[in-house]
Amino acid sequence: MVSSKEWDWKNIKSESWLKPSEESFYYAEKWRAEGRTRMLDLGCGLGRHSILFDAKGFKVTAIDLSEYGVNHLREWQKKNGTDFRTVVGDMKKLPFADNAFDCIYSYHVLSHTDTEGIKQVMSEVRRVLKPGGEIYFDLCAKNAWQFTQCIGDRIDENTIRFVGGAEDGIPHFFADEELMRGLLSDFRINVLRHVDTLATPLYNATGSHWFAEADAEKEYVKPDFSGIIGTTVSGKIDRPLGSVHPRIPDMTYTVNYGYVDGVFADDGAEQDIYLLGEDKPAETFTGKVIAVWHRYNDVEDKWIVSADGRDYTDDEIAEKIEFQEKFFDGELFR
């Protein structure tokens, strides 16, 4: 499996990459009418589709491998006065919980890997979609001149690594109908369309792509925190009550925030906790885990620890952790 490589967005001058694709307008209306709300812009680039879906009322999460692209989107957010989660990350290992999203929009993105990579990507897509969650995406088609004339270095029977330009060194996977159906074997295919694109003033290139709309077929498995809730844990407070976030100066901690000694979370760091029942800045803690805040658009769950033995209500917990969790999409589990 080849390593992922981001687009060189800082050298892209075309305004077309700031304008949403025509299909995105359709899916914004379709998915909204279907009651889908949690949306992932997979391979957001400079942010054109994230901005559109946010304006349409979706709970947007945006991810791209390019730090430049994500930072461009963050600046766009500031200008628009919007605030949704943006992440620098790899589509082959999505930093999100299982069953996190109702829908995924991914335009001219998923082809940027090889044969083994695209299998991993589709596995990750299915994992983070809810049962019945829908993706709209495209892959390069094998009848494209870029594949038939092999304009770069051939990596495997379906993949070429481009040479030169903004996509220098970026692999491109090319599919035919059989490959498309195989990649979607664990999905219900609603639309599978082969499109040849001609050069236009907006899109100054020719190409051939497969476009697919498909729903994840799987059973819902509820997160199980029964082995955690009710246990007594101890640890350290590294962000005490009243302190300021080290990277976000306008965020003040309204509760003590720390980590459990010797217990590691999915992000590889020690398990974070919110400490309730201590109204003074603390250095250490011991308390009972009374709930877990499960983040969907992240890999970090937060344990809710009661220092005074009180079993706080859901509303009380939500109010106390809102100062930070308002930036994420999550759910409280008891």
Q: What's the CATH number where 301 sits? A: 3.90.80.10
Check residue 12 and give its pLDDT. 83
In a domain, 224, yes or no: no
In a domain, 78, yes or no: yes
In a domain, 187, yes or no: yes
Are residues 207 and 255 located together in one domain of the fold? no
Are residues 21 and 88 located together in one domain of the fold? yes
- Dig out the tokens for 327 from the structure: 């930036």
Q: What's the number of domains the chain is made of?
A: 2
210: domain CATH number is 3.40.50.150
Check residue 200 and give its pLDDT. 53
Q: What is the average per-residue pLDDT within 72-101?
A: 96
DSSP codes of every residue in 167-186 = TTT-EEEEE-HHHHHHHTTT
Check residue 163 and give its pLDDT. 85
Check residue 219 and give its pLDDT. 95
In a domain, 275, yes or no: yes
* pLDDT tens track for 4-26: 888 889 888 888 899 999 999 99
What residues have CB less than 8 Å from 189, skipping those under 6 apart? 181, 212, 213, 214
* pLDDT tens track for 227-286: 999 999 999 999 999 999 988 888 999 999 999 999 998 888 899 999 999 999 999 999
In a domain, 3, yes or no: no
* pLDDT tens track for 290-305: 999 999 999 999 999 9
Kindly indicate the confidence band of residue 201, based on its pLDDT and cuts at 50, 70 and 90.
Answer: low
Check residue 323 and give its pLDDT. 96
Domain end point (choices 187, 216, 245): 216
Are residues 184 and 285 located together in one domain of the fold? no
In a domain, 227, yes or no: no
Check residue 168 and give its pLDDT. 86
pLDDT at 204 over 80: no
Q: What is the mean pLDDT of the chain?
A: 94
pLDDT at 207 over 90: no
Whether residue 114 contacts residue 155, with contact meaning beta carbons closer than 8 Å, is answered with yes
Are residues 171 and 75 located together in one domain of the fold? yes
Are residues 243 and 201 located together in one domain of the fold? no
pLDDT cut 70: percent of the chain above it:
98
- Per the structure, the complete domain to which residue 293 belongs is given by 232-333
Nearest 5°: phi and psi at 6? -85, 160
Are residues 146 and 172 located together in one domain of the fold? yes
In a domain, 117, yes or no: yes
Are residues 58 and 134 located together in one domain of the fold? yes
Burial of 104 (0-12, 13-18, 19+ CB in 10 A): buried
Q: What is the average per-residue pLDDT within 158-169?
A: 87
Are residues 168 and 237 located together in one domain of the fold? no
Helix, strand, or coil here: 139?
A: strand
